[in-house]
Structure 1
Amino acid sequence: MAKPRTPKSSKFPAAAKPPAGLPDRETLLAFLRSAGESGKADIARHFGLKGADRRALREMLRELEAQGALGKRGRKGFAEAGSLPPVGVVDVVDRDADGDMFVKLTRADDDAPIVRLSPARNADAGGAPGMGDRLLVRFERLENGELEARLIKKLGQSAHKILGVIRKHRRETRVEPVDRKSKEVLVLTELDARDLKEGDLVLASVGSAAGRYGPKQGKVLEVVGSEDDPRAASLIAIHSHGIPVGFSEAAEAEAANAQPPTLQGRDDLRDLPFVTIDPVDARDHDDAVYAHPDPDAGNAGGWIVWVAIADVAAYVRPGSALDREAREKGNSVYFPDRVEPMLPEVLSNGLCSLREGENRATLAVRMVFDSAGRKKSHRFVRGLMRSAAKLSYEQAQAAIDGVIPPDGQDGDKAPPLLDPILKPLWAAFRLMGKGREIRSPLAIESDERKIVITREGEIASINRRASLEAHKLIEEMMIQANVSAAESLEAKRTPLIYRVHDTPSQEKVQNLAEFLATLEIKWNKGEAPQTSRFNKLLDETRDGPHAAIVNEVVLRTQMQAHYSADNLGHFGLNLAKYAHFTSPIRRYADLIVHRALIRALNLGTDGLTDQDVSQIKDTAETITYAERRAMAAERDATDRYIAAFLSDRVGATFNGRITGVTRFGLFVKLDETGADGLVPVSTLGQEFFVHDERMHALVGERTGKRWPLGLQVEVKLVEATPVTGGLLFEMITEPLPADPRAPRPRLGARRQAAVKPRGGLPKGVRRGKRR
């Protein structure tokens, strides 16, 4: 495989021009090597060729290309065969059985090598790539001599492949893209379309246009399902985002050969009455909890909190097929109708899951809290445990509240556990709440929805997720366990993967301050961002008319969390040290932290290896990329399911709130379902609306009437497209009147912007000759 070319100074400096005349073969190749790639006109200009020499150059280039010494780059460019530029635009053209993606230069002949893609090092790469995406990459050579393409930024859907749905017309068969942002419609030949049915979901390659105008021709590469399949939404998301599916035979065999745990090398924790508290439909159980008062007289009023986590490291060994595939998947991906797990089911739902009444291997942490809710100490134990009960959040909460459990749930399990297990857990949680209050983590409110799917794959309902005290109890205990893991590893100077959340940038805080000024809310622009200051703002506006919009803008001011080998702290939780330790069944980051603890604390021989340590930075980037990929796929699947749910309610009206303001329209989130849809700016009225970024509003150029972020509105559903997940609304609510404090609208701003500044002519107007 050819080595990527790095920019070099030309062999022929500008000050010393090369000898005039047709270059020989080696001189021409040396020039292309230094230039990276060049067109015929540039080559001729460089060597000072004219007339017959230019014709001879064309013949020479044609001959070198036929010999395989040169390769085409674009329509007119040439490069040395097999060479790669330092940075280039590529298409994702392949994916292997392990889920690794491969890319090729977009404008290149077959001589350009296909290179393995590595994740971006920056957080602004534009989301997780999938098959057919177009990317900007940097080509790098590794120590072992292999090439890799390091993702810089996702540029959008490639012209290489599209995922689409078959539409049959009288005269032709078309592939219409499922990506609502794509306008690429392909036409199939009669031969290709012969065995296809209306509504088939297909992966198709893009050819050239049959004529000068009209759609391009396509070739179907794979039929992945049907749009009539109730589960089509998740199928589309999986293929669109390149989610690795299933496991290799080697990984399945390793999982099948796993043995139940024994006491060898472990502490016996089976007498501790741990319980799991999870969603009612949870199939795997990563964590279990138990609490009791501290018997130490020196810690009066203190509590002991145990958090036991599935010991996945005992089954997924470094370098194994299970390990390689878990690393590539990065995490489990959750769709409304299915889960694409990080580990095979025999482990994720079996030996690694902390099932009620069954012996399970665990890595547990025992934490001591004082009467003020501060953690005094902790220690990790590798043990054998047995869960006393499997409870849902609703069951545990109902027992604590003394109410009848929700319909369809077993209400006999939780009440007997109330005094010996649940009340001590709640007492410890309320004590820990004192420390949480002092820490003051960010208190942004979220409105999460749950899509309930029937066995047939139909949507039964879309419900708002309840926020119970039981959720907060598990969350706080998991946070403290995660902190304990990071503290122990830092104390032992052991490399680890942190979960980091950077402080909001100065630019974002400045934008927040300017927006708050439009609401007459004070914010000191020079004030350093602090969670307590954000919480004070949220508390002051929570019961007022601007509560929703302030919550939304504060959320947008925050940075995005990610994984890193360097500790940047966690701003949202207001923690200096934080790592993910509590979900190793579904997150690879947690498995690495487990291995690090095993190595640092001498808890076994299956801890972090030297190879794990050497690639820990790359692992952090890989799993961050996988997390973004999973989030995008889950979001797209949810959008499609909701569009299908609302497709028979076109024409109905809904209440909602403006959650996005752009120059092309308003995004509205419906109160009933949480669905997001667009109100195009062209449908808002007769006048031209300008996007005021400072006020987060569309403002009428003539009247000053406005549509601000956070405004409660009523809309009519005009269109719902399940295959793309798109919803189109029509605004019914009238806009707010002009803001008397805002500057008067500048009439004609659009027309003025279309004319060149003084000193030039409008675009497209040519100056005539003098006579």
Structure 2
Amino acid sequence: MAKRPTTTKSKSPARYGPGVIPTREEIMEAVSEFPEINSKREIARHFGIKGDDRVALKVLLKDMEAEGLLARSRKAIRVTSELPAVAVLDIPADADADDLHAYPAKWNDDEGEKPVVRIHVPKSARVVPAPGDRILARIERGDGTVPTYTGRAMKVLDKPRKADIGIVRIDEGGARLVPVERKAREMRIEAGDLGKARDGDLVEVEVTMRGRLMIPRAKVINVIGNPHSEGAVSLIALHALEIPYRFPASVEKEALAAKEADLKGREDWREIPFVTIDPADAKDHDDAVHAEPDTDPGNPGGFIIHVGIADVSYYVRAGSDMDHEAFLRGNSVYFPDRVVPMLPERISNNLCSLREGENRASMALRIVIDANGNKKRHSFHRVMLRSAAKLSYSQAQAAIDGNPDDAAGPLLEPVLKPLWAAYGALSKARDKRGPLALDLPERRIKLDENGMVADIYVPERLEAHRLIEEMMILSNVCAAETLEKHKLSLLYRVHDAPSEEKVIALGEFLKSLELPTPRSKAMRPSDFNQILYRAEKAGKTEQVNEMVLRSQAQAEYAPGNYGHYGLNLDRYAHFTSPIRRYADLIVHRALIRALDLGDDGLTEAEEARLDQIGQHISATERRAMAAERETADRLLAHFLAGKIGARFTGKIAGVTKAGLFVRLDETGADGFVPASTLGTDYFRYMEDQQALVGERTGERFRIGDRVDVRLLEAAPMAGALRFEILSEGERIRPPGRGRPQRRAKPAPRGRRARR
């Protein structure tokens, strides 16, 4: 091998013989000293690298980028910036309180990945930071090629409000910023403050007060992208709610390096004809199912159900970069135009997706039920399975209904009919259990090639959907029971009973509808189902559905169990979707540890943090729901923006002192009707009735009422619609009056009352 030459701080380039490439230290020294050495070609020329050695150099440079030693801005390569002696740092909310780490509060992505700063807190420290804090810290750089940093907190700082974002609209003399927040106002951007922003770009801005009148002005500090050109209105919600949607290089590298699991330590279940049943457009398949009659004479009419769930824990190990990123995300987020996955595509759509005809590592269940759907016993297994077919819900349902296609036909007798028979037994157990039976149709938005709304529809609710739901619910119960039996801490999926205040409010509302009111403040799900049944018979389903939904608590993840009220279950833990929910991954690891199924189970450090993990992923779930809802609102506002003045039918979905929220029948779009536009009367908010009632006329607009409205205004980027109401409300006794008065001639609907 040729002898490596010694580099010197001379501008004469060092030359290398065949088979030798420079070290990391030599490359960093050269790039730092000579500004002209800013590309792969220049680095190769500087060191005299030729021929096949260029490939090895290219690999080394890529590794140095991944390690954070070099940064690339387009094609230019440079040494990553170092932190100053004093810097503002953010400690992540998920940081270990006993081993804090932080990142620079401000960091240019062109400089490479954010450096990690380990926070040292001596016993004598006067400032003791905590997870989630922003601090001013003194920074010390460690020795070595790869920069390492240690920080000591000097002061805990107040976190500023997250940056304002909006859409740039170029005009004469500069531009205006169209806000994405509903209540925010437009601001001016002077020509010199636009930076690289172009018309239509989504940008982050810094707001400054200028001039004698202190008029707010926006200055562009970061160009996020162009939602229209990318067909991605969801980009607004991702940035407004600070949802990570790009995987760090280290995470992608870890995913690409993952190797397919083999049979070692696994049972071979590949002969069982599992099938996946999912939406037609699904790209990842967490779960596969199979059922067969139980031949045990002691269980006449019973079934054996097999459920296979992707073994994500094998690929995503606790403490790895992928694990850290999955925790930060908490869950996948689903938009009409994109999916922001919890895990990189190599894992979610490939190695962990139970693809048809391919060997896949799985956590599996064998469940024995009797003829009435009651579980007799179950067991968990770590297996290798191979899905016999990938079916959509509609395919599977059509086959059962007598119209099988080429894919489902051969599976009808041996696979699908036994599955449906087992589901029939599970349905009996579900009906006996009596979960909350709220009917909540979910609208879907279909986009065209430009990323705008092409169609809005409500998918048909099929037996195939309910079959998969029941088998997944049963699997989740099994997971919770097994972990409790082995006395291992776990994250439950919990849903509390409605509060006494909400039950009382529901009773007052039902009384106003002349429907029976709850006899007890401690209501069971079956009591709510009785209320819903009576409302349906009285033709008041829409009003009561809304109020029953509002009376319910929000489900969450927690290590303390208080049951799942909505499902009417004593114990419940999410286990069936580890590709898209971090909670399920934690439950998988706990099962592996409890049942001694491998060395990748729940760690003691994770077990100690379950409460913190539960709080975090409950918050990311709510964040995802808000992002999905806001994106749908913006898409629908875009869709309706060309229909100003059009008339629509809908129902009142909410009532406040300020006005009415109306949901349109055709699209499901929500808009607002200000109370001041309802006519010449003064409308008083009646909380017990969830209504606005005219003080003089007794005209009432109540939640759930059917109304006609006209669209007056649409703000697409804010996702806001404003309507005027065209219908007249129901007449009742005016509040505080002896009897209804003769109605005066009404002012035209939509005209503001003079007061």
CA contact (8 A) 2:227 2:236 kept: no
Amino acid aligned to 1:720: A
TM-aligned CA deviation for residue 550 of structure 1: 0.6
Aligned to 2:585: 591
384-393 vs 195-204, which moves further: 195-204
Aligned to 2:130: 147
| 1:563-598 per-position Cα deviation (integer Å, ceiling 9, x unaligned) | 101111100000010000000000000000000000
Please state whether the residue corresponding to 1:309 is helix, strand or coil: strand
State how far apart, in whole Å, the 2-side matches of 1:149 and 1:384 are.
Answer: 41
State how far apart, in whole Å, the 1-side matches of 2:196 and 2:604 are.
Answer: 53
CA contact (8 A) 2:693 2:699 kept: yes
CA contact (8 A) 1:119 1:621 kept: no
Change beyond 3 A, Cα 1:339–1:530: same
TM-aligned CA deviation for residue 186 of structure 1: 3.0
TM-aligned CA deviation for residue 701 of structure 1: 1.3
| 1:150-196 per-position Cα deviation (integer Å, ceiling 9, x unaligned) | 89xxxxx976621112233434522231111223x333233113754
698-707 vs 201-210, which moves further: 201-210
Structure of greater relative contact order (alpha carbons < 8 Å, 6+ residues apart)? 1
Aligned to 1:206: 207
Amino acid aligned to 2:212: G
Please state whether the residue corresponding to 1:666 is helix, strand or coil: strand
TM-aligned CA deviation for residue 477 of structure 1: 0.4
CA contact (8 A) 1:703 1:745 kept: no
CA contact (8 A) 2:396 2:464 kept: yes
Change beyond 3 A, Cα 1:620–1:551: same
Change beyond 3 A, Cα 1:142–1:657: farther
Aligned to 1:301: 301
Aligned to 2:284: 284
Of 662, 680, 698, 2:674 maps to 680
TM-aligned CA deviation for residue 356 of structure 1: 0.2
Please state whether the residue corresponding to 2:298 is helix, strand or coil: helix
Please state whether the residue corresponding to 2:245 is helix, strand or coil: coil
State how far apart, in whole Å, the 1-side matches of 2:280 and 2:122 are.
Answer: 49
Change beyond 3 A, Cα 1:704–1:742: same
Amino acid aligned to 2:130: L
Amino acid aligned to 1:693: E
CA contact (8 A) 1:501 1:569 kept: yes
Aligned to 2:487: 493
Please state whether the residue corresponding to 2:213 is helix, strand or coil: coil
State how far apart, in whole Å, the 1-side matches of 2:676 and 2:243 are.
Answer: 37
CA contact (8 A) 1:481 1:582 kept: yes
Please state whether the residue corresponding to 1:147 is helix, strand or coil: coil
- Structure 1 residue 162 corresponds to structure 2 residue 164: yes
Structure-to-structure mapping, 1:253-264, within 5 angstroms: 253-264=253-264
Aligned to 1:717: 711
CA contact (8 A) 1:595 1:608 kept: yes
CA contact (8 A) 2:173 2:190 kept: no
Amino acid aligned to 2:594: A
State how far apart, in whole Å, the 1-side matches of 2:207 and 2:236 are.
Answer: 18
Aligned to 2:330: 330
TM-aligned CA deviation for residue 320 of structure 1: 0.5
Aligned to 2:520: 526
Structure-to-structure mapping, 1:106-505, within 5 angstroms: 114-116=89-91, 118=93, 146-149=129-132, 161-183=163-185, 185-193=186-194, 195-212=196-213, 215-229=215-229, 231-403=231-403, 411-505=405-499
State how far apart, in whole Å, the 2-side matches of 1:343 and 1:468 are.
Answer: 29
State how far apart, in whole Å, the 2-side matches of 1:150 and 1:535 are.
Answer: 46
- Residue ranges of structure 1 left out of the alignment (5+ in a row): 1-96, 98-109, 121-129, 132-139, 152-156, 405-410, 748-771
CA contact (8 A) 2:435 2:526 kept: yes
Aligned to 1:136: none
State how far apart, in whole Å, the 2-side matches of 1:421 and 1:160 are.
Answer: 53
Please state whether the residue corresponding to 2:228 is helix, strand or coil: coil
| 1:265-312 per-position Cα deviation (integer Å, ceiling 9, x unaligned) | 101101110000000100000000000111111111111111110000
State how far apart, in whole Å, the 1-side matches of 2:384 and 2:431 are.
Answer: 34
Please state whether the residue corresponding to 2:676 is helix, strand or coil: helix
Aligned to 1:611: 605
CA contact (8 A) 1:210 1:217 kept: no
Identity %: 50
Aligned to 1:550: 544
TM-aligned CA deviation for residue 205 of structure 1: 1.1
State how far apart, in whole Å, the 1-side matches of 2:627 and 2:559 are.
Answer: 26
- Structure 1 residue 639 corresponds to structure 2 residue 639: no
CA contact (8 A) 1:141 1:148 kept: no
CA contact (8 A) 2:696 2:734 kept: no
Change beyond 3 A, Cα 1:196–1:263: closer
Aligned to 1:102: none
Aligned to 1:407: none
State how far apart, in whole Å, the 2-side matches of 1:329 and 1:384 are.
Answer: 28
State how far apart, in whole Å, the 2-side matches of 1:233 and 1:634 are.
Answer: 11
Aligned to 1:690: 684
CA contact (8 A) 2:492 2:561 kept: yes
CA contact (8 A) 1:160 1:206 kept: no
State how far apart, in whole Å, the 1-side matches of 2:590 and 2:472 are.
Answer: 18
Change beyond 3 A, Cα 1:745–1:525: farther
CA contact (8 A) 1:502 1:561 kept: yes
Aligned to 1:9: none
CA contact (8 A) 1:119 1:150 kept: no
| 1:317-360 per-position Cα deviation (integer Å, ceiling 9, x unaligned) | 01100100001110011110101111110110001000000000
Change beyond 3 A, Cα 1:593–1:192: same
State how far apart, in whole Å, the 1-side matches of 2:354 and 2:317 are.
Answer: 19
State how far apart, in whole Å, the 2-side matches of 1:709 and 1:242 are.
Answer: 33
Aligned to 2:34: none
Of 540, 555, 568, 1:574 maps to 568
State how far apart, in whole Å, the 1-side matches of 2:258 and 2:89 are.
Answer: 37
Question: What is the aligned length?
Answer: 609
164-173 vs 663-672, which moves further: 164-173
Amino acid aligned to 1:200: D
**Aligned-pair RMSD on alpha carbons?**
2.6
State how far apart, in whole Å, the 2-side matches of 1:143 and 1:555 are.
Answer: 51
| 1:659-690 per-position Cα deviation (integer Å, ceiling 9, x unaligned) | 01111111111111111111121211111111
- Structure 1 residue 510 corresponds to structure 2 residue 512: no
State how far apart, in whole Å, the 2-side matches of 1:438 and 1:150 are.
Answer: 49
TM-aligned CA deviation for residue 412 of structure 1: 1.4
- Under a length normalisation based on structure 1, what TM-score does the superposition of the two structures give? 0.76
593-602 vs 727-736, which moves further: 727-736
Please state whether the residue corresponding to 1:619 is helix, strand or coil: helix
| 1:413-443 per-position Cα deviation (integer Å, ceiling 9, x unaligned) | 1122111111111100010111101110000
Of 718, 725, 728, 1:731 maps to 725
TM-aligned CA deviation for residue 223 of structure 1: 1.4
State how far apart, in whole Å, the 2-side matches of 1:702 and 1:190 are.
Answer: 54
Change beyond 3 A, Cα 1:527–1:592: same
State how far apart, in whole Å, the 2-side matches of 1:150 and 1:289 are.
Answer: 45
Amino acid aligned to 1:181: K
CA contact (8 A) 1:160 1:205 kept: no
Structure-to-structure mapping, 1:83-102, within 5 angstroms: none
- Residue ranges of structure 2 left out of the alignment (5+ in a row): 1-67, 69-84, 96-104, 107-118, 135-158, 742-755
State how far apart, in whole Å, the 2-side matches of 1:354 and 1:324 are.
Answer: 24
Change beyond 3 A, Cα 1:638–1:158: farther
Change beyond 3 A, Cα 1:683–1:247: same
697-706 vs 711-720, which moves further: 711-720
Aligned to 1:43: none
CA contact (8 A) 2:195 2:221 kept: no
Aligned to 1:703: 697
Amino acid aligned to 2:303: W
- Under a length normalisation based on structure 2, what TM-score does the superposition of the two structures give? 0.77
Amino acid aligned to 1:680: P
Aligned to 2:54: none
- Structure 1 residue 623 corresponds to structure 2 residue 617: yes
